[in-house]
Structures are given as structure tokens and as C-alpha cells.
Structure 1
Amino acid sequence: MVEHVLVPFDGSPLSEKALAYACEEFGSSTITVFYVVDSHKDETAAIGWGDHPGEWEEWLENRREHAEDLFSTAHSIADDHGVTIQTGAAVGRTQEMILKAVDEYGADQIVVGTHGRPHLEEFVFGSVAEALVRKSPVPVTTVR
């Protein structure tokens, strides 16, 4: 039986769909919605930090506020399913932080949204989902 589900969440429609699926399928388990602040992938990040004092800290505070907005959305989705969730966030490379969170939270299942491709490329995953499927020490359910 699955006791703790980790749901990587970035506010995209696919991450919302993954959370809804986790609530439907694993609603009696602990569900942690997890957001990663990744300056390598975030389009709001500056190309070079350090040009202005405090620039990194200001950006990071902005991303923390963004995470709280995302968590508000996640709580609404969970509430719609009658499920209570917990939230967590980390700063770093997305795949690495998610895999680290599996250990930190004691998750025994990951549910992640993935980008489906049409026709012959139908089974091609997004890079994060693909990395999780390959490297995760626990089962990964992909939702599209």
C-alpha cells in the first residue's frame, strides 16, 4: 500500500492533472506537493547573478511568493477532492531536488505530469518525467 505520494508541482495544467490523479487514487495516503526553484530553467532568472547587490535574494523571495501562489492552487485542487495535502519546496536542479525529496519525505510513490507527443512520438516524456522514471528509487506514475 502506498503511504506517501510526492507530486512535483509547477502550476502547469499537467501538474494540476497529476495532483488531481494523486488525490483520486491515493487520497488516503499522505500527499506532498513539491515545487522546485530551478534558476537554470526558470525564465525569470537573470543570466548572471551578482551584477546588483541583493539581486539573487530578491529573485529568490519572488520565487518563494510564487511557490505560495502555486500551493494555494494545489490546496484548492486537493480540497475539491476532499484531501489534505502538505507542501514543500527546494532550490536546485529540478530532477535532483525531486529525487532528494523522495528520501527526505519518505515518499514511496511519485505522480508527475508529462508532456505527451502526438503520433509516433506519443511515448516521449518531458525531461523531468523521463529522468524520474529512469532514476527514481520508488515507482513513478506519469499523467498526461
Structure 2
Amino acid sequence: MTRVLVPIDGSSQSTDALEEAFDLFPGAEIHVLHVIQVTRVPSDPGMTPYEYAKEKGQAFLEDAATTADTHGRRIETALIEGHTARTVLRYIDEHDIDHVVMGSTGRSGMSRVLLGSVAEAVTRRAPVSVTIAR
């Protein structure tokens, strides 16, 4: 069975990528990955930035499961902390992924310039084909 990885970050582009994966790979096992990165301080003083990032990531995965349900599909989900591109690449190797479908952008503006494009890094380094959903 074909295994397809869809990294998500909560952006509309990553949701589009998940829907594209369902369309392009109707019989595939779909893996949805969110990489936890602490980028914001929560407004709740009782919550650490890590807890906030983890909670947001879990919410993204729950949204992906809802999207899968609307398509009559089941997904495997993973929530992992790390550097986004490296974590995606490691996940590909560790789970025998055959194809990656990801959004064209997640970050925008200056953060994209400073941090680089995850989609670009994965596309250049992945040992499998990568489809970029726009």
C-alpha cells in the first residue's frame, strides 16, 4: 500500500494539501504530521509556550481528522517536536513514506525569509516525490 505524508501547520495551504492527497491517492494510507514549534507566548499565564504549541498542534490534527471524515477517509496522525524540515525528512524514512503532499507556504513575510521555506527544504532533500499544493 502507498503511504503518503501530509505535513500540516494549521494554514489553509496545509488543509488544501490534505484534500489534494485524498484526491491524488484514493487508496493510500495517509499520514498527517504536525511538528511542534514554540513560536508564541500564550495569553494564559498558567500555560507554558510549549504547552500552548502542543495544544495548537493537537487541534490542527483534530481538524485534519474532521477533514478526513468528510472525505470518508481514515488518517494516521503524529505530533512531534523538532526542526520542521528535518523532522519531516526523518518521518519519511522511519515510516517508509512513498510520497509527500504539502502546502506551498505556511509561514509568510519576514519569518519565511529568515527561516527558509520548509516546502523547499523538503522538496530538495526528500528521498521520495513531493507534490506541492497551491
Q: TM-score, length-normalised on structure 2?
A: 0.82
Match runs of 1:13-24 below 5 Å: 13-24=12-23
Task: Return 5+ residue gaps in structure 2 as ranges.
Answer: 106-115
Per the TM alignment, residue 81 of structure 1 is displaced from its structure 2 partner at its CA by: 1.1
Residue 108 in structure 1 maps to residue 98 in structure 2: yes
Correspondence for 1:140: 130
- Structure 1 distance, partners of 2:125, 2:4, is 17
Larger Rg: 1
Contact preservation (8 Å) 2:4, 2:97:
yes
Contact preservation (8 Å) 2:8, 2:14:
yes
Give the aligned length: 121
Correspondence for 1:87: 77
Q: Output one character per residue of 1:66-102: Cα deviation in whole Å (capped at 9) or x when no partner.
A: 1221111101111111110010021111100000010
Per the TM alignment, residue 45 of structure 1 is displaced from its structure 2 partner at its CA by: 5.3
- Within the candidate set 52, 70, 73, 2:63 is matched to 73
Task: Return 5+ residue gaps in structure 1 as ranges.
Answer: 47-54, 116-125
Contact preservation (8 Å) 1:8, 1:98:
yes
Contact preservation (8 Å) 2:41, 2:48:
no
Contact preservation (8 Å) 2:7, 2:33:
yes
Contact preservation (8 Å) 1:35, 1:89:
yes
- Structure 2 distance, partners of 1:45, 1:95, is 23
After TM superposition, the runs of 4+ consecutive aligned structure 1 residues lying more than 4 A away are none
Q: Output one character per residue of 1:118-143: Cα deviation in whole Å (capped at 9) or x when no partner.
A: xxxxxxxx711111111000100000
Correspondence for 2:87: 97
| Secondary structure of the corresponding residue to residue 112 of structure 1 | strand
Percent of pairs identical after alignment? 36
Correspondence for 1:122: none
